[in-house]
Structure 1
Amino acid sequence: MTLAELISQLTEKDDGLTVFASEPWTAQSDAMAVANREGTGQPDAEGRTYLLETALIHDVLDTWRAHHDGAIPSPQQACEAVVYYAENDTYLYPDEDLP
């Protein structure tokens, strides 16, 4: 499953999961969500690394919508916002939107 597919399928009931994805993180990265676990610093057997907890992903997307007049992000926009947060520990605001 790609990161874009995984993010688009997340629901609030998935807030107890952790997302791992292959680097470099893009919409096309191989991704999976697993029950929260300790030791997220090491890649899994397929080389996927810790990205974010699903509760944080929902927060990132809620913040994105709030700064875009309630618009729903495209799968690409959602991935860009999530990856930006994972790499920078801050939200992607409209004046920082990626091309």
Structure 2
Amino acid sequence: MTLEELVSRLAEADDGLTVFAAEPWTAQSDATAVPNPGGSSRPDAEGRTYLLEVFLIRDVLETWRAHRGGAVPSPREACEAVIHYAEHDAYQYPDGEPPLSP
């Protein structure tokens, strides 16, 4: 399954699962969501590396929508937002900068 397919099916995934994907991370990376009770970030048996937990991916996508007036991301945009968060430990904002606090 590709990362794009996995993210598109996120509604079916349990929050307790962890996503591993083949690097370099792209929408077409081979990906899987598996239980990860030990919290390991080591590559899995197929060489896929830790990306994010499902609950974090949901949060990333909710934040993406909130900063875009409730818009629903395309599968490609969703993957880009997830990969951005995984690489930078930061949300992907529309103009590249977080909004200023009032």
Same fold (TM over 0.5): yes
Partner letter of residue 31 of structure 2?
A
Q: Which runs of 4+ in 1 moved over 3 A?
A: none
**Could you say what secondary structure the match of 1:19 adopts?**
strand
Report the count of equivalent residues.
Answer: 97
The 5-angstrom pairing of residues 47-62 of structure 1 reads 47-62=47-62
Contact 1:12 1:58 (8 Å CA) reproduced: no
Contact 1:4 1:28 (8 Å CA) reproduced: yes
**Could you say what secondary structure the match of 2:69 adopts?**
coil
2-structure distance, mates of 1:73, 1:35:
26
Q: Which residue of 2 aligns with 1:41?
A: 41
2-structure distance, mates of 1:56, 1:77:
16
Q: Normalized per residue, which structure has more helix?
A: 1
Q: Which residue of 2 aligns with 1:71?
A: 71
Identity %: 70
Structure 1: any 5+ residue segments left out of the alignment?
none
| Cα deviation 1:51-70 (Å, max 9, x = unaligned) | 00000000000000001110
Contact 2:13 2:54 (8 Å CA) reproduced: no
2-structure distance, mates of 1:46, 1:12:
23
Matched, 1:91 2:91: yes
2-structure distance, mates of 1:39, 1:86:
15
Q: Which residue of 1 aligns with 2:100?
A: none
**TM-score w.r.t. structure 2 length?**
0.89
**TM-score w.r.t. structure 1 length?**
0.91
Query: Larger C-alpha radius of gyration, 1 or 2?
Result: 2
